[in-house]
Structure 1
């Protein structure tokens, strides 16, 4: 059985998980897509249980399961990759991330855990406080 791997990506222009949820709600269907320039080489591992983890305002705060990778050709004739994402958006424990370009692979053991059942709608802590609590092992 192939191990799985995840992707982490900055969620540019989004202010909060609620903002991302609202923007996703404007799109119909059971799946969504995010187009990126580079196609992941570890496709089999991504499709074996991988998720796309969204970095919002400097911290991983949510994820979506990856359903497929599709080749798309842009209006400029350049090949790109559409990462097909399943609904719903799943909130995770906040995990600070420095800015980076594009996307990065994320090993399962390094991925933040999902929010515990019943806490998915808790108010978000300020990023600095969440980081301090995480450093102390309290969240």
Structure 2
């Protein structure tokens, strides 16, 4: 079986995982199944690997804190005639261990070996490490 790869994206406008969950709650899904869609300009060249088990990992205030499983990619034609990629995700937001990431534009691939582990269900309410501590730990190789 071919391997898979994740996508890493900044969660602009959210200060916490709760903000992302609240946004999902207050903005209805366009799908009857409740799936969520994030539209981005670039289409993944590694589409098959993304769809073979990848998730969209969200960076919130400089730290990866959660993910959503990618279900499919949809072609979206903007009013400006530019083709965009709709990343359709499972509605469940899965909290992860905190992993610091410096700011970047667009999105990046994230190899499964570099992805933070999911938090056990019982720890879903745990707060993230402070951003400066998470950054310091990441710089010395500890997550």
Shift in Å at residue 116 of structure 1? 2.1
Q: TM-score, normalising length from structure 2?
A: 0.89
Structure 1 segments of 4 or more deviating over 6 A?
A: none
**What corresponds to 1:34 in structure 2?**
38
| Structure 2 CA distance for partners of 1:57 and 1:7, relative to 1, 3 Å | same
Q: Which residue of 2 aligns with 1:106?
A: 110
The TM-score with structure 1 as length reference comes to 0.91
Is the CA contact 2:73–2:87 (under 8 Å) kept in the aligned structure 1? yes
Query: What are the within-5 Å matches in structure 2 for residues 120-139 of structure 1?
Result: 120-132=124-136, 135=140, 137=142
Partner of 1:73: 77
Q: For residues 60 and 141 of structure 2, what CA distance do their matches in structure 1 show?
A: 22
Q: Please list the CA deviations of residues 78-121 of structure 1 after superposition, one character each: whole Å capped at 9, or x if unmatched.
A: 11000001120000111000010000000000001111231011
Moved more, 25-34 or 66-75: 25-34
Which residue in the other structure is 1:6 paired with?
6
Provide Cα deviations, 1:23-51, integer angstroms capped at 9, x if missing partner.
01122342010000000011111111100
RMSD of aligned residue pairs (Cα, Å)? 1.6
Q: How many residues align?
A: 138
